Structure formats: C-alpha cells, structure tokens
Structure 1
Amino acid sequence: MTALGALRLPDGFTDVFTSRFVDVDGLRLHAVTGGAGPALLLVGGWPQTWYAWREVMPALARHHTVVAVDSRGAGLSDKPDDRYDAGTLADDLVALMAALGHDRFDVAGHDIGTWTTYALAADHPDRVGRIAVVEAMIPGLTPSPPLLGPVALNQKLWQFGFNRLTDLNEELVRGRERLFFGWQFATKAATPASIPEYAVDVYVDAITADPRALRASFAYYRALEETIPQNERRSRTRLTQPVLAVGGALWSGTYAVDTMRLATDDVTGVILDDCGHYPAEEQPARFTQVLERFLAGEPADAATTAP
C-alpha cells in the first residue's frame, strides 16, 4: 500500500482527506478522514480496503466528517492472529471513532463490512445513529442457503466455504493472488471491466505486500464460528436505528433489504439498476445520492425502492 499521493484518486481528494494511523487498545488502525459535519464511518468489504469508497468520499465530505477505515486485518491496519469476529471488529471501530472525537456516528458497510455494521448497531445503540448495509448477507441473521443450491447461488456464495478452510486456501492462493482476487471483481461486478484494473491492483497489492495479509483476509470467514452465534443472539432484539439496505440489481437484488427486515421494521430498500456487487464503485453518483437522502432523513426515490 502506498501514500495517498501515489494512488489514483478523484480530483482534489488529497485537499480534503488525510491518511492517518490511530492506536486503539494495542491495535493500530489505518483510516482516511476528511470533511465536516456529522460523523460517517465507512466499512469496506472483502477483499478490499478503504479505497473502495474513494469515488463517493468527496461528495459525502461536503456534509459529513468521513472516516473510511481499514478494519483489523485489512490494508495498512494491524493484522493480529485472532479476534476477527464481528463483535470484536465493532468494538475496534467504536474505539477508533472515540479516539477521533466522535461519540456518535452513522455507519455504512459493504459486503463483510455489513457484519461489523450490524454488530455496531446492535451492540452499541447509544453510539450509532443511522446505518446503511450494502450488498449484505449476514450469517446468523440471514437464513443459510442450501448446501447444494442452484448454480447461480453457488456462483455467489462458494467462497464462504473455501475461505473458512484451514491453511489449504492460503497454499492454493499464495502466488496466484491476482488470479484469485481478480476473478472475484470480474465476476461479481456488472461487467468484467466495471472495477478498473488499477483498483484491483490496489486491493491485490495490499494483500501481497504483507505476508500476514492473506491469512487475515480469510480470518473474517474463519471467525464465523463466533460471529454466527453472536448474530443469532443479536437477532432476538430488534434494531432501533433506521436502516438503508442497498442491492445491485445484477448481483444480490433484494437480498440486503430482505435480510434487514429480519432485524428491524424501519428499512428503506433501494435496488440500483445496471449494478453488480460494488455500488460505491460501479454507480458512485447514484449510490451517493441514495445514501445522502437517507442520512438526511429524506424518503428514497420510489423508482428505486425495493418491494
């Protein structure tokens, strides 16, 4: 991973945002922060870093103090051997936001970042305001799919089993990271070129540059042994925060809103047309508009609201 000035970023990005490290409870976390207004925490998915939010951060920073974080195990943050369950990841980020001076904040999470977002809302309701979950499947809340489901479903979820393996997956992927992770982006986005090669390089380089990173990238999935029973307990109490659930029409569709309706009655569901698994990168202008309207308490566009 390199300094902000060495990355391809939207014009004026480095005039607004700063890369920084914050020590919390013996853990060093990396975040990119900037803007002014109510605090908004952005939590990325697998196998990405804070960089996944780059296209939406400048617009969001006009009305929010934006904190795009590398969770433990990702990007430039520390990669300890253990404690990758959702509850611990949420505790990390509460401590991070407190260290940055934010006692209360909104959260948007994508992919496995939604696991942390759900835990933040459920475990720290006094700290978390509105939450947005993007392309969410939350183990322990979402019903588990069948072992031998349709081919299309297997195409979307096969990595859950593979990533939970012990040691073998590292051996199979090490030295082939560009093939393995590049395939994820090429097949989950609306088109193979929707996530540009330079962005894929940033994500793959973050994993190959640190010998601990590949193991850490699988650790979130191995920790599902702890996260699933945590979420089963969380699901017994309905969330009190308003929730925005966003899906890409070409990937998970209504899956996010269906999932979050299991957790709360206050769900705004939005499906983005011509979008795959990565709304903040594939449809940044539309995604920003939807997120901003939600954070401001405005109704969603009826044309994009899920049934």
Structure 2
Amino acid sequence: MLAGAAAATLLTPSAGRAAGFDFPAGFRIQEVPANGTTLHVRVGGKGPAVVLLHGYGDTGDMWAPLAADLARDHTVIVPDLRGLGLSAQAADGFEKANEAEDVIGVMDALHAPRADVVAHDIGNMVAYALAARHSDRVTNLVLMDAPVPGVGPWDDILKNPLLWHFRFGGPDMERLVAGRERIYLDRFWNEFSADPAHFPEASRIHYAELYAAPGRMHAGFRQFAAFDQDAADNRAWLATHGKLPMPVLAIGGEKSFGPMMAVVAQAGAVNVKERVIPGAGHWLMEEQPAATVAAIHDFLDGRPAPAGAGRLGQTALSFDQTQALPMSGAGAGTSGISGIRTVLLYGDPAKPGPYALEIHVPPNTVIAPHTHRDDRFATVISGAWYFGYGASSKDAPIKPLSAGGLYTEPGGAPHFAFTRDEPAVVRLTGVGPSDTTFVTTASR
C-alpha cells in the first residue's frame, strides 16, 4: 500500500460519511498538505495507482462504487478538490492549472510517480491540466461528460442556455444561495439527469449538507469563475505543446454530452476512444453506475488482442495519433533513400505477418525502379506523388496522385515514384516479410 506522511484514519461512516457512500474495508482517510492547501483523500487497494477526480454537485464520495471495483488490482486515490467536500477551506487558487498541482502534491505525498486519472465534470478540467503539464505522470486518462475550457467547441458550448451557472457567482450570488443550497443543487441534479429519480434522495441530502458547510459554495462558485483563465491557459498550452499523448477514454451520458465528449477530447488528445452510456444523463455514477464502472475498468485494464501466427491484431489509430508516432530512417520495406522518413504504424515488415508504414518524402526526391517480394497497397495521405510501373522511368507512363489516391505494388513487379516541388506522405500496407530490390542499371 502506498505510504504517506499525512495523518491517516480508517474510512468509516463515522468519519464524515453517510450510508451508501462507504468505501471498501481497508480504505483510509488522509489529510494531505499539497500546494498551499490540504486535501481530504481516501486511499485503498493495491497495485498501479489510479486517481479519481470529482466534479461540482458531488465530492469524492461519488466514486465509492468505482473504488470498490478498482481496488482489487489498483491503489485508488480519491481526493476532494480544493475547497470542496472535506478538504480545507480555500479562498482562491481555483485555476485548473493550479489545482493540477494540488493533485501532483497528493501523488507525491503518497509516493505515486504515475497514475491513471479518471475524472468527471470540473474534475475533467483539473485532469486535463494535470495530463498536459505532467504527461509523464499520467498513464491513461478518462474524461466524463463535461467540456474542457478552451478546448474544441468550448465557445459554442458556452452559448447553451442550460449553462447559465457558468457565469453565476460572486458575493451577491453566494448570499442568495446561502441557506438554500439544496434548492440550488437540485436544479443541477434534476436538469442534467436522464431521469431525476435516478439521482437518489440519500445522495441529495448528503451532498447538500456538505455544500452547505462554511466556504463550500464559495469554492464552487470560484471553480466556475476561473473558466476564462482556464480557457486562456489551455489554448496557450495546446498552441505551444500540442495535444495530449496518452490514451484517453471520453465517456458521455446518452441524454447529456453523448458523443460530444469524444469531440472535445479529440480536440485536445491524439489517442481517443469513445463510450456513450445508455440511459444516463450527466450524473453517470449515480444514474448508471454499473455500466459506467464497466466502461472505465475495461479501458484501464483492456489490451488489444495481439497478432499471432501472422494474424491481424486489433489496432485503431486516429490520424492525429498516427502523425504523432515517432519517425525513423530506412527500414525493411522502404527504399532506403536519404531524406525519406518512415513511421511504422503496425507490425514489422521484416517479419511474417501484416504491417503498415508511412513514408514522408521531401520535395524533388526520386525512388528509382525497384521490387518487393510481397504484394502491397499504397494510399497517398498528403502532397503530390508521381508513380509508375516498369523497369525504367524514362519512357513509362506516370500517374500523378494527390491525397486519397490508391495504387498497388504487386510482388516482383518493378515500379518507381518521385516528388516534384511538393512533399508527399504515402501509407503502405502488406504482409511480410518484405524487402526492397532495386532494378540494376543494365536492365533499365
């Protein structure tokens, strides 16, 4: 079990909890000093670390069903966000880049150098900032049913009249809501549910009491008030550093964000999988806990079926993801021409079995007539590509091909290609082992 310097107590219903929010036996509570505040953290289980980040209208208690599932083979770390739940009161510091440092402080205190991160609602925004600024600390990322400021269709999302609460805040609004926390929160639980009855009364009572505690509504309003700065921070980070590199699962409730969650994620990450939970609105863990837990566990623990005995394995890569893969020089199945860069997308052309690769060809590059032992298909991804069949390029017909163009390279059939003033990217697939044999000068 991960160790921490902060004081710990066993996690029981008497420790500020209510029936129905109990974490598994063996979980403990730690009050963890981090980044100038103190976070209330539940810790339990054994194995690779996973951090669960809640949103507005909930606290870390929302994760009890998922924690019970993951604790069998993960060390589960569940903080209450800055100023919320049972974490210390906080007047400021609600910019999500700063709250990401809160989480890093917790991970450091618990000696968790890397973790999967699962998030919902406001937690998405903290998780995105965390994964962007500390990509070496985040193994996999799950984002659930909420936008990320400044990423993807953020400006269009802001126009939705249901989201008027994004601009509702300040001292006067805090005074209006004081003593009426349950009324204010019921609006969220009712309007953003597929069926309000699926957000249980016991949960409403529990969270309303927590949000009515001193400083909690202030912290909630400040989470929203920081959105403009969060959007500016994220846009600047994306422009400078690019999209998130780690695998991301985007989960939307069928009656809420649905597939829009994947649209948001794809705008900020290169490797995104999509899940839509049927019968759920925004409150996935309350409305459809079993389906939501299964989707998260499948993603965190699932592995593609490996290729074997020359058979095709499971791989699904977005264009952004393929373009983020590392480039190398010449290898099996390539021409070996200086300046051409290769990206291996799947398999190994030097070994038996299917493979896919890209060649990135600079302008004014000539690949002389050559053959391969295997049959291959080629697709032009970008640029202008000039291709022909034959042992000599001097008198053979030349086919100009632009993006989307397709041609074949039959095994043993001589062919050639070149670029002119524009570079080209070409994707090749075949079944190895492959090789390249240039046609001798005498035979051209």
Instruction: Give the 3 Å change call, closer, same or farther, for CA 158–241 of structure 1 in structure 2.
Output: same
d(CA) in 2 for partners of 1:129 and 1:146? 30
Structure 1: gaps spanning 5 or more residues: 300-307
**Distance in 2 between residues matched to 1:76 and 1:6, nearest whole Å:** 10
Q: Which residue of 1 aligns with 2:411?
A: none
**Distance in 2, Cα, partners of 1:146 & 1:257:** 15
How many angstroms does 1:79 deviate by? 2.2
Counterpart in 2 of 1:173? 177
Q: Is the 8 A contact 1:114 1:138 kept in 2?
A: yes
The aligned amino acid for 1:70 is: D
* Structure 1 residue identity aligned to 2:177: V
Distance in structure 2 (CA, Å) of the matches to 1:62 and 1:101? 19
The more displaced of 23-32 and 40-49 is 23-32
Which one is further off, 198-207 or 238-247? 198-207
Asked whether the equivalents of residues 53 and 281 of structure 1 are also in contact (C-alpha less than 8 Å), the reply is no
Cα distance change, pair 255–205 in 1 and its aligned pair in 2 (3 A): same
TM-score, normalisation: structure 1: 0.89
The question of 1:213 aligning with 2:216 is answered: yes
Q: 1:10–1:49: structure 2 CA closer, same or farther, 3 Å change rule? A: closer
Partner of 1:154: 161
1: CA distance between counterparts of 2:173 and 2:16? 34
**C-alpha separation between the residues in 2 aligned to 1:85 and 1:290?**
29
Which residue does 1:77 correspond to in 2? 87
- Is 1:224 matched up with 2:224? no
Task: Note the alpha carbon deviations across 1:228-285, whole angstroms, 9 max, x for none.
Answer: 1111112221111000000000111112100011012210000010011011222111
The answer on 1:190 being equivalent to 2:201 is: no
Q: Is the 8 A contact 1:5 1:14 kept in 2?
A: no
- Indicate how the Cα distance of structure 1 residues 259 and 77 shifts in structure 2: closer, same or farther if over 3 A, else same: same
Q: What pairs up with 1:102-113 in 2 under 5 angstroms?
A: 102-113=112-123
Letter in 1 for 2:70: L
1:248 and 1:277 in contact (8 A); partners too: yes
SS of the residue corresponding to residue 42 of structure 2 reads: strand
Aligned partners of 1:142, 1:199: CA distance in 2, in Å?
A: 32
Task: Give the distance between the partners of 1:215 and 1:24, measured in 2 at CA.
Answer: 20
Tell me the CA shift for residue 6 of structure 1: 4.6
Change (3 A) 1:14 1:289: closer
Q: Following the alignment from structure 1 to structure 2, what is the Cα–Cα distance between the partners of residues 25 and 248?
A: 33
Tell me the secondary structure at the aligned position of residue 100 of structure 2: helix
Distance in 2, matches of 1:185 and 1:283, equals 14
Moved over 2 A (4+): 2-6, 142-149
Partner Cα distance (1:28, 1:170) in 2? 23
SS of 2:250 mapped into structure 1:
strand
Change (3 A) 1:147 1:21: closer
SS of the counterpart of 1:244? Answer: strand
Q: CA deviation at 1:25?
A: 3.8
Asked whether 1:281 is paired with 2:286, we answer yes
In 1: Cα distance, 2:73 partner to 2:147 partner = 29
Q: Report the 3-state secondary structure (helix = DSSP H, G, I; strand = E; otherwise coil) of the residue aligned with 2:179.
A: coil
CA distance in 2, matches of 1:4, 1:284: 24
Higher-helix-fraction structure: 1
Structure 1 residue 26 displacement after superposition: 3.5
| Change in 2 beyond 3 A, CA 1:154/1:17 | same
**Structure-1 residue corresponding to 2:5:** none
Paired with 2:21 and 2:64, the residues of 1 have a C-alpha distance of 7
For the residues of structure 1 that align with 2:108 and 2:268, how far apart are their CA atoms? 26
Change (3 A) 1:3 1:101: farther
Relative contact order, higher structure (CA 8 A, sep 6+): 1
Question: Which structure has the larger Rg?
Answer: 2
Q: How many residues align?
A: 291
The amino acid of 2:167's aligned partner reads: G
Shift of 1:146: 4.9
Q: Which amino acid aligns with 1:249?
A: E
1:7 aligns with 2:18: yes
Instruction: Name whichever structure is richer in strand by fraction.
Output: 2
SS at 1:126 equivalent: helix
Aligned counterparts of 2:104 and 2:14: Cα–Cα separation in 1: 25
Is residue 134 of structure 1 aligned with residue 144 of structure 2?
yes
